[in-house]
Chain A
Amino acid sequence: MLDSLRSPGGPIRLAVPRGALFDETLDLLDAIGVETAAVRGDSRSLVFDGGELTLVTMRPYDVPTYVEGGAADLGITGKDVLLEQSDRPVYELADLKRGRCRMVLATRKGDPGPSEHERRLGMMRIATKYPRIAEQYFERSGRQVEIVEVKGSIELAPLVGLADGIVDLVATGRTLAENDLEVREEIVECTARLVANPVSYKLRAAEVDSLVGRLREAAG
């Protein structure tokens, strides 16, 4: 199967996100009759035969990269990832309504709030894994910020004084609460989206449309 991966034709290749969206994505695929037992049972392989689809597993953040490059015809990833990489020319075909969470601005509980920092210093410092979303949000709302990009636990940044606040994705808000942070502003709601490579979307229209239709129906 690995030999045929690079050649056109053959089963449609779907990029499946490992991580928070993984189980819900596989449940959706089960619902439309794609074989997912092998994916569920094996955390080391990267490529799986799903019958009508070839499933390629990767980190959610890489899904747009593989889909843009045509290494996957279709992909599932979060809207947060798509917003952060909004200049990639992929087609965003369907809202799969799974993995619902919010992109928020949060600060330490009891802090006077980010606007107070801004009033006093003319500027606030925000730590985030989503520098573009954060930058655009503050630009739109007319506030000056200094963005600090970090990769790991964002909650750490305000606790030790690296930043006045954070922009991050929250599902339940538990991690924020555990670190004594609270939501100040909600930026955007994010769910799982189905994206397509522009060439596959055009040249394999019937197969793509059939999958989109079934996934939309399964997503409810």
Chain B
Amino acid sequence: MIHPIPPGTRDVLPEEMAELRRLQSSLLGVFERFGFQEVRTPTIEYAEVLERGGGSGVEDAYRFFDDRGELLALRTDMTIPIARLVATRFGELEPPYRLSYLANAYRAVTPKRAELREFGQAGIELIGAAGADGTAEVVEVLGRTLDAVGLREARVGLGEADLWSCLLTDFGGDQALLAETTGLLARHDIVGIEAALAASELDRDRCESLLGMIQLRGGPQVIDQARGLGGSRFGECLDRLESTYHAIAARGGAERVRIDLGLMRELGYYSGTTIEVYDPSVGEIIGGGGRYDGLMRRFGADHAAAGFTLYLEPIHKAQIEQGLSGAGPPDA
């Protein structure tokens, strides 16, 4: 008898399960070593909670009514449920809070694309630690986590989401142009940005500067290359990125970091520093994160926050590609 399972879901058989368990315990081991305590939230939330968090997570969520007619949703990530949890329960405690998680999340996907509707995420949230030093702590833990799972070649893209708006505003671009091009940048449509700028009132040199800026990525020298492109807003934004980089370097984490001035993620709650994680052996992004200083306020608790999430399936794939499947910490 053959009994199918829904597309975008999977069974895990014993051999792979053992590898996944080793991977999970390496991840959790690092989180614990750095003082991040694991929490768990329900798989289902009130849809209103995900909407309050905002971002693309809401649109892709599976929603349904329960027996009392309440609109519920399967969580699409762990950051929003943890923001809700912290705002609701940690009112009396003194921040910062260091929390970690390992959980499945759910998203509607386009059919026939080999995408998962149920996927594993492991990550940390550092809530109540502002600025460069908070971000640097998150990136340090991220680096150690990648070490622990054996992905030596993995790199961390480090961007600043406000660079584009700062430079465009310094150049006198209006709100409509800003909204249009920000959307294009999040969708990685550089040709579209070029066309939108050409149709605007900005002069040619400024268009070139804007296009050049978003394609700068590499070592710390790209910050120097971008110096002097814009005015004071852009300069301050670059300063923030530079101090974040220095804070990461001071913790010994600069080796994996690639500064990326065009990095912009689509998830709606990020502000300021943005992170993506890449490994050369898999073609997809294996993790992401950054600062989301405004998110907690939407839940009524005004804390700066930052964190990262690693996507378990691509991480496991990268391990398999490199012959390290299930590798534990090398010699931690």
Interface set of A (CB-CB < 8 Å, partner B): 8-9, 68-71, 86-87, 89-95, 193, 197-200, 202-203, 205-206, 209
Q: What chain B residues lie within 8 Å of A193 (beta carbons)?
A: 191
Q: Which of A69, A86, A89, A199 is the one whose CB lies under 8 Å from B278?
A: A199
- Check if A95 sits within 8 Å of B188, measured CB to CB: no
Known A-B contacts A199-B283, A199-B284; A93 and B190 likewise in contact (beta carbons under 8 Å): yes
Q: What chain A residues lie within 8 Å of B282 (beta carbons)?
A: 70, 199
10 pairs from A and B in contact (CB 8 Å cutoff): A69-B283, A87-B110, A91-B190, A92-B191, A95-B191, A198-B284, A199-B285, A200-B283, A202-B157, A203-B155
Most chain B CB inside 10 Å of its own CB: which residue of A92, A202, A205: A202
Select from chain B the residue with minimum beta-carbon distance to A88.
Answer: B113
**B289 CB to nearest A CB, Å:** 15
Q: Is B194's beta carbon under 8 Å from chain A?
A: yes
Q: Is B291's beta carbon under 8 Å from chain A?
A: no
- Check if A9 sits within 8 Å of B215, measured CB to CB: no
Q: Which of A70, A90, A199, A209 is the one whose CB lies under 8 Å from B188?
A: A90
Q: What chain A residues lie within 8 Å of B281 (beta carbons)?
A: 8
Q: What chain B residues lie within 8 Å of A95 (beta carbons)?
A: 191, 194
Question: How many residues on the B side are at the interface (Cβ–Cβ under 8 A)?
Answer: 26
Q: Is B276's beta carbon under 8 Å from chain A?
A: yes
- Check if B218 sits within 8 Å of A197, measured CB to CB: no
Q: Is B260's beta carbon under 8 Å from chain A?
A: yes
Q: What chain A residues lie within 8 Å of B217 (beta carbons)?
A: 202, 205
- Check if A89 sits within 8 Å of B188, measured CB to CB: yes
Q: Which of A92, A198, A205 is the one whose CB lies under 8 Å from B190?
A: A92
Q: Is B95's beta carbon under 8 Å from chain A?
A: no
A90 to B280, CA, bound (A): 16
- Check if A202 sits within 8 Å of B155, measured CB to CB: yes
Q: What chain A residues lie within 8 Å of B192 (beta carbons)?
A: 92
Q: Is B258's beta carbon under 8 Å from chain A?
A: yes
Q: Is B189's beta carbon under 8 Å from chain A?
A: yes
Q: What chain B residues lie within 8 Å of A199 (beta carbons)?
A: 278-280, 282-285
Q: What chain A residues lie within 8 Å of B276 (beta carbons)?
A: 202
Select from chain B the residue with minimum beta-carbon distance to A70.
Answer: B283
Q: What chain B residues lie within 8 Å of A209 (beta carbons)?
A: 215
Select from chain A the residue with minimum beta-carbon distance to B109.
Answer: A87
Q: What chain A residues lie within 8 Å of B190 (beta carbons)?
A: 91-94
- Check if A198 sits within 8 Å of B285, measured CB to CB: yes
A202 to B264, CA, bound (A): 13
Q: What chain A residues lie within 8 Å of B110 (beta carbons)?
A: 87
Q: What chain B residues lie within 8 Å of A200 (beta carbons)?
A: 283
Known A-B contacts A198-B285, A202-B217, A202-B258; A94 and B280 likewise in contact (beta carbons under 8 Å): no
- Check if A9 sits within 8 Å of B283, measured CB to CB: no
A90 to B191, CA, bound (A): 12
Known A-B contacts A202-B260, A203-B155, A205-B217; A71 and B188 likewise in contact (beta carbons under 8 Å): no
For B172-203 the 0/1 string (1 means CB < 8 A from A) is: 00000000000000011111101000000000
Q: What chain B residues lie within 8 Å of A206 (beta carbons)?
A: 218
Q: What chain A residues lie within 8 Å of B153 (beta carbons)?
A: 8
Select from chain B the residue with minimum beta-carbon distance to A86.
Answer: B187
- Check if B188 sits within 8 Å of A92, measured CB to CB: yes
Select from chain B the residue with minimum beta-carbon distance to A73.
Answer: B283
- Check if B283 sits within 8 Å of A91, measured CB to CB: no
- A8-B281, A70-B283, A205-B217 provided; 9 other pairs, C-beta below 8 A? A8-B280, A87-B110, A91-B188, A94-B190, A95-B194, A198-B284, A199-B279, A202-B157, A206-B218
For B69-93 the 0/1 string (1 means CB < 8 A from A) is: 0000000000000000000000000
A92 to B184, CA, bound (A): 10
Q: What chain B residues lie within 8 Å of A92 (beta carbons)?
A: 188-192
Known A-B contacts A197-B283, A199-B285; A205 and B189 likewise in contact (beta carbons under 8 Å): no
Q: What chain B residues lie within 8 Å of A9 (beta carbons)?
A: 280
A86 to B184, CA, bound (A): 11
Q: What chain B residues lie within 8 Å of A205 (beta carbons)?
A: 217-218, 258
A95 to B281, CA, bound (A): 28
Q: What chain B residues lie within 8 Å of A68 (beta carbons)?
A: 283-284
**B195 CB to nearest A CB, Å:** 8
Q: What chain A residues lie within 8 Å of B194 (beta carbons)?
A: 95
**B284 CB to nearest A CB, Å:** 7
- Check if B191 sits within 8 Å of A93, measured CB to CB: yes
A9 to B281, CA, bound (A): 9
Closest 9 CB pairs of A and B: A70-B283, A8-B280, A91-B188, A199-B278, A92-B189, A92-B191, A95-B191, A205-B217, A69-B283
